[in-house]
Amino acid sequence: MLEDIPAAVRSQHDDVLDAIRSGVLDELKPAAEKAADQFDAARKTRLDRFQTLRSGAESDPIPTDARDVIRDYRRASVETVLVPLAETLRFVDTGVVLRSARQGLQDARASLTTQQPDHLERAEPDALYEADEADGTIRSIRKTWIRGMRRVRSWVSSGEDRIQTVPVAQLVDYHLRHRLPVAEKAVLLDIEQNLARWVARLERAATEWIHATLRVEAAVDRLDSEARQRLDTAPSSDDPESQEPTSDRNDPGEQESEAVRQLRVMETTEKAFLDVLHDAASLTLDDAEDRLRRLAQSAQEAFENDTFRAGSFMAKRRRVKTPPETPTGRWVEWHRQATARLAMGHHLSEIRDIIHTEQASMTGAIVDAGISPARQLVRDALRQLKALREEVDSLLALPAPGTERHLIQDLDAVLDRALDLLENELAAALRQTTVRRDTEAVVQARIDTIRLAIDEQPDTFVVHALPADPEAPISPDAPSHTVQWTSILEETTAVLLFDAWRALLPPIADTVLQVTSTADDVIGIVRFNLGAAMEEVQDLLVARRRDETSDEIDQGHLEAARELALDGLDRAAALLTDSDRPMVDAGLPIARAVRSTTTATWARIHERVRAAGRAREQVLRARALSESYLRTATEWSQATGRELRIRLRRTLQLGQRRAEKIVQMGQTAVGTGEVDDAVIQETVAAVIGLGDELSEMPLVYRRLFSLRPVRDPDLLVGRTADIQRVEQHVRQWENGLPNALIITGDPGSGMTSLVNVLSATSLRRARRYTIELTERYTEEADVARVFARVLGLTRTGDPETLDELAARIREQPTNARHRVVLVEHMEHLFLRAVHGTGLLARVVEFMSATDSRLIWIGTISGFGWQILQAHEPDAAGLVVRHALTPFGRETIEELIIRRHRRSGLALTFEAPDESAQPLLARRLARAETPEARQEMLRQDYFDRLHSLCGQNVMLALFHWFRSVRMDEDGSGIRVAPVRPIRFDFLDTFSVRQSFALKALLEHASLTVSELAQVLQLSPEKARTILEALGNAQLIAPAETIGIAGTYAFDGVEPDIRYRVRPMVLHPVARHLRSRNIVH
């Protein structure tokens, strides 16, 4: 039985080695060998696509397809090397195998111990007390004494067998559970260390390689493909866990240098990775097997020696003082953490591919969803518009007498088809496109894909710190940390990626919205130009009917019609063509933004993964969370800042103007204010010479910016509230609350334009009567006659009084169709003289007396209304007054820009001289794009224009006329900075001249005799005052007010009615207010 124990020990050793060999080495070595072959193949494939960098003075440039090469190389290596290795390590579970081997050995020893008897009796060995050279003196003496005593006994008595009692259980327990395990521990520890060192080297090499490869991809992503060049680079060392991420570089040379450096690092790491894989072949248990064999032999000899000496004085006490060590399994977690690091590298690579795959297809999908439908609509409309242009070209030949109406009908039909095309097939179709929803769906689909991929990722990875020196002893108790994997991905993508992707969509919607706005402009251009062309043909028809025509006149009308129609269609087509360019270019900034945000997001993810377990991890997480709040706060502060800057600038400008005015008034009061005659001459020249400047502008521009009141509702700006007030008044009348409505406003504020548009829109279904008072009325009979003729109530003769006319109105049968009477320029019903307001009061009373039958709407200037209220308060209380909404700065801008857009011409604002506006010059220098620069110039231009013009539309148009000029190629309009005209010479006018200006504002127009009555002067003095005002180009005959600059004052005629020129109404009113003459 005792002879079986050494064999059992050797068998146990073989079982342990076989378990480790079959459970670990037989799995790891083939897997490592296969991984090495696959890795080498992937590396060679990469090298076949572009050569590795040389270490000499020159290096190969990064090829244009480097991104694809590195990506394919990484994917292949991860799928065929990293993933199989991680799966093998997970399957093998080395720590469990080692623990099981130790536990199995311990269990086998315990079983073998329990199988032994407590004692064994046998014949004492004859040589037990024989002398031995190894014995010491005392042992030798004792052995000699025992041999002597036994010899003496043998003489005295007959010999008997001596029995030896061997404590078998105790000796087996001691040798198998104490002495042998202590000796085996070093062997088993060496086995564990050898395996751990190789796994640690594998873990480090794989981590270094995956991080280096990903950094190469990130560096190549930042490269500008058009600026790649050959650069000298130097290799750099790298620690995959501690190296900070490389910062973005704008210089292409630096970007490529960085890519080259990272590529060299990658090549170093792939060589180290390959070496580790090849070294797996050297993993063997041969040395451990030899050492265990020697241990077993030594243990057998020691056991045999103990059993041989059992029961003698030479026997030693063999007791296990401490229980045998129980395997703790510390290597289990260590090896699993190593496997987790390899798996994390795989998932890091996987998430990069997922993000970049979604990014790669997103730009095209966004363009297809948001831009392509709009482009197709524009192309179709453009094709049909060009066909209409050819049709119009063929129609506009000189018509034979009597066929003009056919031409007008044909042009009207073309206009209807063009408007149907542009309004229904283009503008309406563009408005029906769901750009924002469709593009949001594209982005959301990719966000959902990434989120789903993140949800499928492991929540965490528990990893230990990479050993600084893999050749040093490995401790299974190395500190570990938990990488919050999904939290890193969710936080980083939500803050940096998803919000940035969503921010790409508004510019797409804005682009389509701009195209829609262009379509609206095109509609306006076509409607205005073809309508103006038809008006020219209509004028030709009228001229022929009146026999006021000639070949030259006929040809002039036809050429004007051709210019208006064909140029308008050409400009409309050009606008549509130009609108296609922003849509074509829309994809480029999207692609750049998508690529840059994706690259930045990936860099942050990579950075946070590498920083996991260190203090920097918390810094990066805090930065990621704060960036979201910072972005929101920045957007709010920028918007608020822009608004505050605009308000501050306008406040400063207003304060400056008021300060200048106070100084000017003070100078005038003390008699020190002087005005150079050159200032007056400059102003006069500007007013007179405007016609020459306008003659160089296209015909359509001269028509659009005519000083005549507008009739097109689209050209009426800033009057929405006023139109709504009139509509409300009509509804009240329908509900049994009749009242006359009087509209008041400053001269030149657009009351006539408002009446024209009301006739074409809100009042178009009513039966309308328009009474335009263009001359002064002083007799009630004259007014009654004019009103009766317009209303068609003269069958029984002209009425002599307004009461008689009122009776006729009440006798009229009630009609289901409303009758609206529009009375314009009611200032001509009074004269500011003794009993001069009585007629105006009578007319107001008449309107009130008949307001149950007729809807009365009158217009009068604010100055005239003040006179009515002051002198005839009872009459003023009989009607409802509505003061026009004051024009703001934005209204003036919209009014001008809307008219300009009808021309179809490009618009470019020119920068003022830097010395004149240094603050603006500095702002322009900081502008990032030409569009931003133009926006600044546009804002500054209209800020200054509004400060000069106030609510006076005519003056604003006047300054616009002076600013614009055609490009040399005739393709657009250039707008020079506002050139203010100085009207401070008004402050040098006498009191009588100022009161004469006041009288002209109050009465709309005056003759010499009327002015003499108002000022209580002689006609000669009144004429002298008008001469002075005319020489300053402040007044003009009322009938000449039309196209700006077409009249030059050459003297006062007694019977001519004069009025203040529209473009100087604002400075005149401001002058009178400064003198407290008007309020």
pLDDT in tens, 946-955: 887 776 777 7
CB 463 within 8 A of CB 344: yes
SS3 287: helix
CA neighbor of 820 nearest in space, from 850, 849, 781: 850
Task: Give the pLDDT confidence score for residue 271 in this predicted structure.
Answer: 93
In this model, does residue 111 exceed pLDDT 60?
Answer: yes
CA neighbor of 962 nearest in space, from 951, 954, 972, 952: 954
Weakest mean pLDDT among 109-113, 163-167, 605-609, 1058-1062: 109-113
Q: What is the DSSP letter of 1062?
A: G
In this model, does residue 241 exceed pLDDT 70?
Answer: no
In this model, does residue 403 exceed pLDDT 80?
Answer: no
Q: Which residue has the tokens 């990936």?
A: 602
- Give the mean pLDDT of 104-117: 78
CA neighbor of 98 nearest in space, from 173, 19, 42, 207: 19
- Give the mean pLDDT of 179-187: 83
CB 474 within 8 A of CB 193: yes
Most confident range (mean pLDDT) of 23-27, 221-225, 243-247, 1032-1036 is 23-27
In this model, does residue 251 exceed pLDDT 70?
Answer: no
Burial class (CB in 10 A: 0-12, 13-18, 19+), 702: middle
Give the type of residue at 155: W
Cα–Cα dist 315/168, whole Å: 13
Cα–Cα dist 379/375, whole Å: 6
* HEC assignment per residue over 160-178: CCCEEEECHHHHHHHHHHH
Instruction: Provide the percentage of residues in the chain whose pLDDT is more than 70.
Output: 85
pLDDT-derived band at 785 (thresholds 50, 70, 90) equals very high
In this model, does residue 1009 exceed pLDDT 90?
Answer: yes
- Give the mean pLDDT of 63-67: 70
Helices (H), 158-237: 168-174, 180-221
In this model, does residue 610 exceed pLDDT 90?
Answer: no
Task: Give the pLDDT confidence score for residue 334 in this predicted structure.
Answer: 92
For the chain, give percent helix, strand, coil, nearest 5: 70, 5, 25
Q: Which residue has the tokens 């800057």?
A: 645
CA distances from 864 to 476, 826, 1002, 1007 (A): 101, 8, 5, 17
Bridge partners of residue 742, in order along the sequence? 858, 881
Q: How distant is the alpha carbon of residue 202 from its chain centre?
A: 45
Q: How many residues would you count in the chain? A: 1079
CB 492 within 8 A of CB 601: yes
In this model, does residue 769 exceed pLDDT 90?
Answer: yes
Task: Give the pLDDT confidence score for residue 672 in this predicted structure.
Answer: 38
In this model, does residue 678 exceed pLDDT 80?
Answer: no
Q: What is the mean pLDDT of the chain?
A: 82
CA distances from 270 to 33, 78, 281, 900, 1061 (A): 15, 12, 18, 66, 86
For residue 747, how many C-alpha atoms fall within 13 Å in the half-sphere facing its CB? 26
Q: How distant is the alpha carbon of residue 114 from its chain centre?
A: 80
Q: Which residue has the tokens 């229980």?
A: 323
Task: Give the pLDDT confidence score for residue 209 in this predicted structure.
Answer: 93
Q: For residue range 712-753, what is the model confidence (pLDDT) as tens digits?
A: 888 888 899 999 999 999 999 989 889 999 999 888 788 889
Between β-strands 972-975 and 964-966, what pairing exists: parallel, antiparallel or unpaired? antiparallel
Weakest mean pLDDT among 343-357, 431-445, 640-654: 640-654
CA distances from 985 to 313, 485, 982, 1024, 1034 (A): 141, 78, 7, 18, 12
CB 644 within 8 A of CB 944: no
Between β-strands 819-824 and 855-861, what pairing exists: parallel, antiparallel or unpaired? parallel
Give the type of residue at 12: Q
Cα–Cα dist 439/502, whole Å: 9
CB 908 within 8 A of CB 976: no
Q: For residue range 5-48, what is the model confidence (pLDDT) as tens digits?
A: 778 888 888 898 999 999 999 999 999 999 999 999 998 888 77
pLDDT-derived band at 245 (thresholds 50, 70, 90) equals very low
- What string of DSSP letters covers 573-586? HHHHHHHHHHHHHT
Q: How distant is the alpha carbon of residue 865 from its chain centre?
A: 52
Task: Give the pLDDT confidence score for residue 712 in this predicted structure.
Answer: 86
- Give the mean pLDDT of 372-383: 92
Task: Give the pLDDT confidence score for residue 679 in this predicted structure.
Answer: 59
In this model, does residue 453 exceed pLDDT 90?
Answer: yes
Task: Give the pLDDT confidence score for residue 328 in this predicted structure.
Answer: 60
- What string of DSSP letters covers 345-371? HHHHHHHHHHHHHHHHHHHHHHHHHHT
Residues with Cβ within 8 Å of residue 960, at least 6 apart in sequence: 705, 896, 945, 975
pLDDT-derived band at 673 (thresholds 50, 70, 90) equals very low
Q: Token pair of 982, please? A: 């100085």
Between β-strands 767-772 and 163-166, what pairing exists: parallel, antiparallel or unpaired? unpaired
Residues with Cβ within 8 Å of residue 1017, at least 6 apart in sequence: 992, 1011, 1025
CB 555 within 8 A of CB 531: no
Backbone angles phi, psi at 231, to 5 degrees: -135, 145
CA neighbor of 319 nearest in space, from 306, 305, 328, 300: 306
Q: How distant is the alpha carbon of residue 530 from its chain centre?
A: 40
pLDDT-derived band at 531 (thresholds 50, 70, 90) equals confident
Cα–Cα dist 930/913, whole Å: 18
In this model, does residue 238 exceed pLDDT 80?
Answer: no
- Give the mean pLDDT of 836-848: 94
CA neighbor of 167 nearest in space, from 128, 123, 124, 116: 116
Cα–Cα dist 365/371, whole Å: 10
pLDDT-derived band at 1042 (thresholds 50, 70, 90) equals very low
Q: For residue range 461-486, what is the model confidence (pLDDT) as tens digits?
A: 999 988 877 678 888 888 888 999 99
Cα–Cα dist 125/273, whole Å: 63
Q: Which has more pLDDT, 329 or 1?
A: 329
